[in-house]
Amino acid sequence: MSRFTAVPGSKTSLQVVTVGSHSGLEALTTAQGKAVFIAGAGCVGLAQALAFLDLGYTVILHDPKALTPWQAESTDLKVFAVNHVNADFLNKIGGWEKIAALRVNPYNQLSLHVGDQEQTTLFTAEEVNLEQLGYMVENAALVQGLLQACQAYGDKFVFLNQIEVTDAQLKYLGGSFSIGNNYAPDSKDLYWQITFSTGLVLNTNLVIAADGANSYWRQKAKIALDIHSYPTRCMMMLVDTDPEVTQAYAHLTWQQVDQDGPKAWLPVNASQGVLCWYDQIPTINALSKLSPEQLKQKVLTNYPLEKIGTNFTIRQVGSFPLARQRAKHYWQNKVLLLGDAAHTVSPLAGQGLNLGLQDVQCLTRLFADPSFRDLHALALVYASERFVDNSLMQEFLSVLHHAYISRSPLAKAFRENMYRVSGITSVKHYALNYANGDRSLLRGFSEIGQNVLALLGKK
Ligand SMILES: Cc1cc2nc3c(=O)[nH]c(=O)nc-3n(C[C@H](O)[C@H](O)[C@H](O)COP(=O)(O)OP(=O)(O)OC[C@H]3O[C@@H](n4cnc5c(N)ncnc54)[C@H](O)[C@@H]3O)c2cc1C
> Does 194 map to a domain?
no
Q: How far is CA 107 from CA 25, 138, 243, 425, in A?
A: 43, 14, 16, 21
What's the order of all strands across the beta sheet hosting 104-107? 79-83, 134-138, 104-107
Residue bearing the CA closest to ligand 1, atom 31 = 42
Can you give the residue range of the structural domain that contains 115? 104-137+230-322
Cβ of 109: how many Cβ atoms within 10 Å? 17
Ligand 1 lined by 340 (C-beta under 6 Å): yes
Q: Does residue 279 lie in a domain region? A: yes
The H or E element containing residue 92 is helix 84-92
Residue 336 alpha carbon to ligand 1 centre in Å: 16
**Is 132 within a domain?**
yes
CA distance 338 to 13: 19
pLDDT of residue 181: 47
Residue 62 near ligand 1, beta carbon < 6 Å: yes
For ligand 1, whether the C-beta of 211 sits within 6 Å is yes
Question: How many domains is the chain partitioned into structurally?
Answer: 1
Backbone angles phi, psi at 96, to 5 degrees: -65, -40
The answer to whether 248 touches 231, Cβ cutoff 8 Å, is no
| 240: CATH | 3.30.9.10
Check if the beta carbon of residue 211 is closer than 8 Å to that of residue 44: no
Total-model pTM = 0.91
Q: Say if 255 falls within a structural domain.
A: yes
* Residue nearest to ligand 1 atom 38, measured at CA: 211
Tell me the C-alpha distance between 132 and 417, whole Å. Answer: 27
- Interatomic CA distance for residues 93 and 73, integer angstroms: 28
Q: Look at residue 128 and tell me if it is in a domain.
A: yes
**Cα distance between residue 173 and residue 6, in whole Å:** 8
Residue of the nearest CA to atom 41 in ligand 1? 216
Q: Given ligand 1 and candidates 48, 80, 167, which is best to mutate, with the most ligand atoms within 8 Å of its CB?
A: 80
Residue 131 included in any domain: yes
CA distances from 85 to 142, 261, 395 (A): 15, 29, 22
What is the Cβ-side half-sphere exposure of residue 279, based on CA atoms within 13 angstroms?
Answer: 18
Asked whether residue 11 is assigned to any structural domain, the reply reads: no
What pairing do the DSSP bridges indicate for beta strands 134-138 and 190-196? unpaired
The H or E element that residue 238 is part of is strand 225-240
Residue 407 included in any domain: no
Helix and strand element counts for the chain (H, E): 14, 21
In a structure prediction context, what are the per-residue pLDDT tens digits for the chain, which is 459 residues long?
Answer: 557 888 888 899 999 999 999 988 989 999 999 999 999 999 999 999 999 999 999 999 999 999 999 999 999 999 999 999 999 999 999 999 999 999 999 999 988 887 776 667 788 899 888 999 999 999 999 999 999 999 999 999 999 999 999 999 998 876 666 665 455 545 678 899 999 999 999 999 999 999 999 999 999 999 999 998 888 899 999 999 999 999 988 999 998 887 777 899 999 999 999 999 999 999 999 999 999 999 999 999 999 898 899 999 999 999 999 889 999 999 999 999 999 999 999 888 788 999 999 999 999 999 999 998 889 999 999 999 999 888 888 887 777 777 767 767 777 776 666 666 666 666 666 666 777 767 666 666 666 666 666 666 666
Q: Report which DSSP code applies to 118.
A: S
Q: Could you tell me if the CB of 76 is within 6 A of ligand 1?
A: no
Angstrom distance (rounded) from CA 31 to CA 278: 50
What are 370-429's pLDDT values in tens digits? 998 889 999 999 999 999 888 888 887 777 777 767 767 777 776 666 666 666 666 666
- What does DSSP assign to residue 103? -
